[in-house]
Amino acid sequence: MVRQGYLAERWASDGALRGREPFVPVDWDTALDLAADALRHAIETGGNESIYAGSYGWASAGRFHHAQGQLKRFLNLVGGYVHSRTSYSAGAAEIIVPHILGMPFFSLMRQAPTVEDIAAHTDLVVCFGGIAMKNTQVMDGGLGAHTAEDQLRALANTDTHFVNVSPLKDDMADFVGADWWPCRPNSDVALMLGLAHTIHSENLHDAAFLATYCVGFERFLPYLTGESDGQPKDAEWASALADIPAEDIRVLARRMASGRTLLGISWSLQRAEHGEQSYWMITLLAAMLGQFGLPGGGVAYGYGSVHNIGFAGRRQPNFHIAAMDQGKPPVNRYIPVSRIAEMLENPGGAYDYNGKRLTYPDIDVILWAGGNPYHHHQDLNRLRKAWSKPGTIIVSEPWWTATARHADIVLPCSTALERNDFAAGSNDTYITPMRQAVKPFGNARSDFEIFSALAERFDKGDEFTESKNEMQWVEHLYEQTRQRADSAGVELPEFAEFWDGEQIDMREQLDEQRFALEKFRDDPEKNPLRTPSGKIELFSETIAAFDYDDCRGHPMWFDKQEWLGSERAQRFPLHLVSNQPKTRLHSQLDNGRTSRDAKVSGREIVRINPEDAAVRKISEGDIVRLFNDRGACLAAAVLTECIRPGVVELPTGAWFDPDGESLEIHGNPNVLTRDAGTSKLAQGPSAHSCLIDIEKFTGHLPDITVFSQPATQEA
C-alpha cells in the first residue's frame, strides 16, 4: 500500500496527510522501487545520517526473523543510519546503573537474588512498584516456562514477609499477603530518604560495609541530615511527600535493619521525572543495610518487570545465542530512543545526554520494522505533528496499526506463525523450534525477503543473504549456537534432530553461577566493580562533573513539575498510571479476541477509586473522558478500592484511534502522557509523571475504526 499523495508526489507530498489520506494498492516491485528511490534520494541529498532506523520492540522471539537485525543489517550494507540508544522500558536505569555499579543494567538485572535465596535467607522483601504477575508472563527472546506464580506462591508460604509500596494494591498478588503502602506516585525517593534517615540517625547502618565497598557516603550524609540545605530528610519530611505515616516509616526502617532484607524496584519507577534518582537512592539505601552480595539481600532491580528476574535461578546460558550479524555501523549517530519527536521537530538542535552535548540529525526517511511508536511513545498528538516532517516513512507491518496508517509505504510482512525460526533467550535455559504453522497470508513476505529485495536494488543482495534462504539461515544460526554451547560444555542435538523434536531445556547441563556482586563482596580488591573507584559509587565524581541541575553527584529528591504535590495538580488533580496491560504484550494483538473481549463498549478500561468517581458522578461501566492540555481519550470506568484515591490506571497498548485532532476514542493513554526526558543524564521516558482529570462522557459515542482496513483507492 502507498499513501495516495505520496504515490503522486513522493517525498514532496504533504506529510501532514499521513493517517488521513487513502492508500493505493500496488504490486511488490512498485512498493520496493519506491522505497529504494526514497532511500537513494535521502542518501544523495542528506547522507545516510538522514535515515532513521526506527526498529524497536518485541517483534519476534525468533533468532533469525528479528526485525531489528534484518533492517539494520540492510542499512549498514548501504551506508548506515541514525540509530537509537537505550529503551522505553528502562532508559534511565540503563544510564545510571553503569555509573554507580559498573555493569550494564540488563546484566545486573539478571543477577537479582533468586526465589530460592529469598526463601532460605530473607526475612523481609520491600518492593517499590510491587511484583506485578502480569509482567512475569513475558521475557525478551521468549520464555520457556511460566513458573513465576508457582514460585511466588511457594515463597508466600515461608516466613518471608512482603511490603508492596505502590499506588496499586494488585501490583502484588493477594496470595502473597503483603502489607500495602499506597504512596503517592513519584514519591518513592522521598520515602527511601526517610527510611535512610531513620537508619542513620538510630545508628542502624552498616558503617563497615559503607567504608569497605562504597565511596561517597560521607558526601551524601550532609544532604540526608539537612546540614547542607537546612532540611533533614527525616520520616516527617518523607511522610508529607509520600503520604505514608511517619511512624510507619520509622518502624519499617528498624525492621529492615533487624534482619536480612531485600529491596525490590520495578522498571516503572524510573519512567518518571528524575527517574534516575530512584535507582540510585535504592542502591544507597541497600548499601546502608550492608547486605549487597549476601544471599537474598541487596536489591532486585526490576523484580516483577519480566519473568526471569529472580525467577530464573542461577542456571543461565554461559554462551552466546547466535543471531544474524548486523555488520559494523558506518554511521555513529544516535539519539536516546524516547527523543524521536524532539529530533523530528528540531533538526540541528542541541541537547545534553550522559555527559555529552549532542545535536539532532535532520531526518528525511524513517524506515520502521518490528515496533509501534504510536503505542510506546508519549504525547502522541505531538508525535503525530512531528511525524509529518520527514519526506518518506516506510513501515513493515503485518497489521494496520496506527504506525502503518501513518506511513507512506506499507510493506506487509508475515507474522511469527508464518515463518520458520528458533527461540532462545540470553537468560532462559530453553531453546525452542518455531516451525511455520500456516503459510503467509495473501502476498505477505518476511522481513528477510523484504530487505533482501531492497538490498538487491542497491546491488547488495548477495551480501545480505549470503546466498542462503530462510531454512538455511535458521540451520546456520542454530549450528553456530550449538558449537558455542559445545565449547561451554553444553550438548545440543544436531539441527535435523532439533527441528523434528520439541523444546529443549538445558538447565541440567548448566552450572549454578555466582553473581558479580557476590564475588565483589568476597574480595573487592580481586573483583572490583567497573566504576572509576572499583566500588559502589554513592557519590559519583563523573556525574557531578557533568554539572547538571537535574542530576547531581549523589541521589536526592527533586521537586517535580507533574505530580500530586505540584501546582499543576490544582488544574489536573488525578495522577495517571499508564502501566503494562494484562491481555496483551504492549500493543501486540490488541486486535485479537483476548484483548478486545476485555474491553467495555470497545474501549480500554480505566480504573478509578470510588471516592474520585463519586465526586465526578461516575458509575461502573460509564464511558469517561480523560483529559489534560496535551490531549484527551475515552475509556470505560471500573471502580476499585485497589487503587489509592487521586490515582487512576489506564494501561498502555490500545491502538491509537483519533477522531479528528482533539479526541482519541479507544483508550490510548499516550495522548495524555508527558514527552520529556527524565533528566539531562539519561533522557529516558517520563510517562509516569502525568496529571489528568476525568469526566463522564455525554456526547455521541464514536465507533472504533482502528481495527478496520483504512480507506483505499485504486491507482
Strands 261-265 and 574-577: unpaired
Whether 520 and 527 have beta carbons less than 8 Å apart is answered as yes
Which residue among the candidates 52, 58, 267, 557 is catalytic per the annotation?
58
Regarding whether 409 and 356 lie in a shared domain, the answer is yes
Please state the pTM of the whole predicted model.
0.97
640 part of a folded domain = yes
* Same domain assignment for residues 539 and 603: no
Domain that holds residue 122: 111-314+519-546
In a domain, 98, yes or no: no
Sequence-separated contacts (24+) of 505-511 with Cβ below 8 Å: 505/144, 505/145, 505/429, 505/430, 506/317, 506/429, 506/430, 506/431, 507/315, 507/429, 510/315, 510/316, 510/317, 510/318, 510/429, 511/315, 511/318
At residue 661, the pLDDT reads: 81
From 6, 52, 56, 81, active-site residue: 56
Instruction: Please indicate, yes or no, whether residues 481 and 580 belong to a single structural domain of this protein.
Output: no
pLDDT digits (tens, 9 = 90+) for 383-419: 999 999 999 999 999 999 999 999 999 999 999 999 9
67 with 123, same domain? no
- Active-site annotation holds for 655: no
Q: Report which of 679, 666, 655, 671 is spatially closest to residue 578, judged by C-alpha positions.
A: 671
Q: Is 368 a catalytic residue?
A: no
- Spatial contact of 521 and 113, defined as CB atoms under 8 Å apart: no
- How many domains is the chain built from? 3
Let me know whether 301 and 337 are in one domain.
no
CATH code of the domain containing 583 = 2.40.40.20
What pLDDT is recorded for position 69?
Answer: 92
Taking residues 451-473, report their average pLDDT: 98
Domain for residue 96, yes or no? Answer: no
CATH number at 481 reads: 3.40.50.740
Distance of CA 451 to the CA centre of its chain: 27
Asked if 694 contacts 667 with a C-beta cutoff of 8 angstroms, the reply is no
pLDDT for 425 equals 87
Q: Give the pLDDT of residue 142.
A: 83
pLDDT per position as a tens digit, 5-55: 999 999 999 999 999 999 999 999 999 999 999 999 999 999 999 999 987
> Does a structural domain hold residue 71?
yes
The percent of the chain in helix, strand and coil, each rounded to the nearest 5, is 35, 15, 45
Question: What is the H or E stretch that residue 43 is in?
Answer: helix 28-46
Position 407 scores a pLDDT of: 98
128 forms beta bridges with: 165, 265
Residue with cell 552450572: 511
Mean pLDDT (whole number) for 333-348: 97
The verdict on residue 244 lying in a domain is: yes
* Averaged pLDDT score across all residues of the chain: 96
> Does residue 552 sit within a domain?
no
Do residues 395 and 542 share a domain?
no
pLDDT tens, residue by residue, 581-635: 999 999 999 999 999 999 999 999 999 999 999 999 999 999 999 999 999 999 9
Q: Rounded to an integer, what is the distance from CA 327 to the centroid of its chain?
A: 25
Residues 166 and 303 in one domain: yes
Whether 97 maps to a domain, the answer reads: no
Which stretch of DSSP H or E encloses residue 665?
A: none
**pLDDT recorded at residue 617:** 98
- pLDDT, one tens digit per residue, over 491-540 is 999 999 999 999 999 999 999 999 999 999 999 999 999 999 999 999 99
Q: Are residues 39 and 115 in the same domain?
A: no
Instruction: State whether 495 and 591 are in the same domain.
Output: no
Per-residue pLDDT, averaged over 289-307, amounts to 95
Confidence band for 59, pLDDT divided at 50, 70 and 90:
low
Helices of type H across 141-245: 148-156, 188-201, 207-213, 217-225, 235-242
Q: How far is CA 249 from the centre of its chain?
A: 30
Same structural domain, 497 and 449:
yes
Chain centroid to CA 601: 29
Counting residues of the chain whose pLDDT is more than 70, the rounded percentage is 100
CB-based contacts of 223: which residues, under 8 Å, 6+ apart?
229, 233, 554, 556
Residues in Cβ contact with 193 at an 8 Å cutoff, skipping those fewer than 6 apart: 224, 233, 237, 238, 281, 556, 557
Read off the pLDDT of residues 110-137 as tens digits, 9 standing for 90 and up.
Answer: 999 999 999 999 999 999 999 999 999 8
Q: Return the closest-CA partner of residue 322 out of 485, 489, 452.
A: 485
* Claim to verify: residue 425 and residue 499 sit in the same structural domain: yes
pLDDT range class, residue 207, cuts 50, 70, 90: very high
User: Is residue 471 domain-shared with residue 534, that is, in the same domain?
Assistant: no
- pLDDT above 90: residue 427: no
Q: State the CATH number of the domain containing residue 291.
A: 3.40.228.10
Closest CA to 39 of 654, 529, 453, 439: 453
Q: What is the pLDDT of residue 658?
A: 96
Mean pLDDT of 655-677: 96
282 in a structural domain: yes
pLDDT at position 263, please?
Answer: 98
